[in-house]
């Protein structure tokens, strides 16, 4: 699919991987709807890329429907980057993990991704438009670490969503692919001391460094532009495999 002239919607677009994706898609000629729970962050990125800001929680059906309606053209490029990563042991010093904490991670990461996919695909199908969806999982979907039970389960669910949706949406001409990033430079990771970041980078086989957000964005661009890529999961991780902890 050609990016230029299309409308794209990027969730979690106010920072990190989502912001990098919004910048790249805009640079390639797309009108980008930047969706984020943080209104100021969404507005800042939207203004930077000449796009449209939409404040929304991905689990909110009405808010996402409104975000899809903010541009005059139906979004044909959907990129789901919104997510959270609360860490907690299933059984820790304080006892069993809070069920509400587990539900929250599943709800934001997995249910939120599904909510955006279903509403966006329905909108494209109603308009008779082909399109592409790129979801964000994580290498934790395959090698979840201790403390990542909720996060790994949510990202594993995103991996599992891809193929059945790709098969179902084929009749509409909508492709679905998933990127599973490894350890990337994000605002959250940036709060770690430099020595901690260096140690993380040293554990990555090659190249032995943290991933750059624009590398993720370039992979999104590849997923959008490569018409024969469908139902696939791409690990973007420098050949890393997460240790138990």
The token duo for 33 is 């709807």
**Which of these is catalytic: 102, 114, 151, 184?**
151
Q: Cα dist. 89→34, 107, 131, 145, 182 in Å?
A: 33, 18, 39, 10, 21
The token duo for 51 is 């796009």
Hey, which residues does 95 pair with through a beta bridge? 92
**56 near 35, Cβ under 8 Å?**
yes
* Mutual angle of helices 16-27 and 213-225, in 10-degree steps: 50
Cα–Cα distance measured from residue 69 to residue 76, given in angstroms and rounded to the nearest whole number? 12
* Mutual angle of helices 149-169 and 112-127, in 10-degree steps: 10
**9 near 67, Cβ under 8 Å?**
yes
Q: Is 228 a catalytic residue?
A: no
The set of catalytic residues is 151
């Amino acid at each position: 699919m050609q990016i230029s002239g299309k409308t794209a919607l990027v969730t979690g677009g106010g920072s990190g991987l989502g912001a990098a994706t919004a910048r790249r898609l805009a640079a390639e000629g797309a009108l980008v709807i930047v969706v984020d729970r943080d209104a100021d962050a969404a507005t800042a990125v939207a203004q930077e890329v000449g796009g449209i800001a939409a404040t929304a929680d991905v689990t909110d059906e009405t808010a996402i429907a409104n975000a899809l309606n903010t541009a005059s053209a139906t979004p044909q490029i959907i990129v789901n980057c919104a997510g959270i990563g609360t860490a907690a042991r299933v059984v820790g010093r304080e006892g069993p993990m809070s069920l509400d904490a587990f539900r929250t991670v599943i709800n934001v990461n997995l249910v939120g991704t599904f909510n955006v996919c279903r509403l966006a695909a329905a909108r494209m199908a109603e308009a008779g438009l082909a399109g592409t969806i790129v979801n964000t999982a994580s290498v934790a979907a395959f090698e979840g670490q201790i403390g990542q039970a909720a996060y790994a389960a949510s990202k594993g669910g995103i991996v599992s969503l891809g193929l059945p949706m790709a098969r179902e949406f084929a009749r509409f001409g909508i492709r679905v692919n998933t990127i599973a990033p490894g350890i990337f430079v994000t605002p959250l990771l940036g709060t770690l001391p430099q020595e901690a970041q260096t140690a993380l980078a040293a554990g990555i086989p090659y190249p032995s460094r943290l991933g750059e957000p624009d590398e993720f964005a370039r992979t999104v661009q590849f997923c959008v532009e490569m018409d024969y890529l469908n139902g696939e999961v791409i690990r973007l991780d420098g050949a890393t495999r997460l240790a138990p902890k």
